[in-house]
Chains A and B, each alone.
Chain A
């Protein structure tokens, strides 16, 4: 079982969508929220995903397709 620490950033149109709930229903991925800040026009959630690497990858791809931005929790790693 692998763990992946990520940040989801929600645009306004997706604030009311239960994306994280659906992620855990559609894929074999345990979602564990550690920090979050959601307001009426935008929101972010820092969470740990646990599961098979392939399931996590597929789940993340699905989340991106919904329009949510997914970033590593450590921020961008590629520097100038």
Chain B
């Protein structure tokens, strides 16, 4: 059953029924789902959660969906691996990687989209839409296929066609827009007001957000029902970062884990780091920027939840760290070559940020630290194409021995 009771404005507190809305009518701030935690606490236990499916839907009671008609393509309960090799490199004794590359469309977006498309279905929409250059588009298209719904995916025309194969395979209506990212933003804002569609990160955003909480739930459960000492996660719109925190807080409210003393560290690419900048200068205002980075999956210049992500970093005693494109690529290689995990560039930003935080002593050797890797590398593998350096040999043992300098 659902324990969601409504929506509440994060700024002014105005409450709304559960409906597809984008922002508070009064102050135009984001709204979020509220729950009856008292009733929820009476239903939930470690045993009940553990008896659930090995997917994110084992936390169904903590999500804002009715019944059991979820649109699920097998998302979640991804591995939490102890990263001893990488930990040795960075001087961290209790480092874990939450490997969310292993979702059905290879990124954490499946968590958020699974909830959003389920709500779209509940609300009676027959069409879902999003604007994306990669991970979100693939996830929305895949879930729409599973739900037998129509999907519209808006893409700036300058996105390389190769990037869209992993989206087009699910056969959404792919709309390429002649214009800049800002033009696509403006068009989609208009489309969402003109068509009765479930627009994933606009009128379904409050529900979309909730799916990301399952990352926090899973990590706590996989650690034996406790919260980590430190979290390092990427921030684009800031939503994921705030929802990992909310997930941990909810488990604590429900007494499924103890008090949360987790230090939350967010990481951004230097070329698109408005939240890190605000943290560094002590500002409460996220000044929008025009992204300039190869880390496209987290290149958001005007982050919708940037303020809230900033507040989580500040209030948890955490911090913020940025990484250049070069550092991100080095981070990707380091993760792959120590732990066997091929992350997208956003994962490289996380590893580069983690490296800096460990080197500066912000994160200490004995602190249980979880780094969140939220998307897989192969979708944008061309950015590390220089790793391909092979031995060229003739098909003879002699040539092989000669080239590699080996003796039989």
Contact = CB atoms under 8 A, between A and B. Distances in A.
B285 A76 contact: no
A78 B237 contact: no
B285 A78 contact: no
A53 to B, nearest CB: 8
Interface in A1-21: 4-5, 7, 9
A71 B301 CA distance: 10
A27 to B, nearest CB: 17
Contacts of A72: 185-186, 189, 302
A55 to B, nearest CB: 15
Given A35-B11, A80-B133, A80-B296, A74 B22 contact: yes
Nearest to A48: B28
Most buried by A among B205, B236, B288, B296: B288
B212 to A, nearest CB: 12
A71 B186 CA distance: 8
Given A74-B205, A75-B304, A80 B288 contact: no
A65 interface: no
B189 A77 contact: yes
Contacts of A69: 288
B174 interface: no
Contact of A75 (B130, B186, B298, B305): B305
Contact of A73 (B23, B26, B134, B301): B23
Nearest to B180: A78
Nearest to A43: B285
A78 B305 CA distance: 14
Interface size on A, as a range, is 20 to 34
A79 B131 contact: yes
Interface residues of B, number: 43
A9 B23 CA distance: 19
A44 B136 CA distance: 29
B287 A80 contact: no
A72 B192 CA distance: 12
A7 B287 CA distance: 11
B285 A34 contact: no
Contacts of B287: 9, 42
B133 to A, nearest CB: 6
B132 A79 contact: yes
The DSSP consensus for interface residues of chain A is strand
Contacts of A74: 22-23, 189, 201-202, 205, 304
Interface string B305-329: 1100000000000000000000000
A8 B130 CA distance: 24
B363 interface: no
Interface string A35-66: 10100001010101000000000000000000
A78 B205 CA distance: 13
Most buried by A among B28, B156, B297: B28
Most buried by B among A35, A69, A74: A74
A73 B25 CA distance: 12
Interface in B219-275: 236-237
Interface of B: 11, 22-23, 26-29, 130-136, 154, 156, 181, 184-186, 188-189, 201-202, 205, 236-237, 285, 287-288, 296-306, 346, 375
14 contacts: A5-B28, A9-B288, A34-B26, A46-B27, A71-B302, A72-B189, A72-B302, A75-B303, A76-B304, A78-B131, A78-B133, A78-B156, A80-B136, A80-B298
Given A78-B131, A80-B132, A80-B298, 6 more contacts: A71-B288, A72-B302, A74-B201, A76-B181, A77-B201, A78-B132
Interface of A: 4-5, 7, 9, 34-35, 37, 42, 44, 46, 48, 69, 71-80
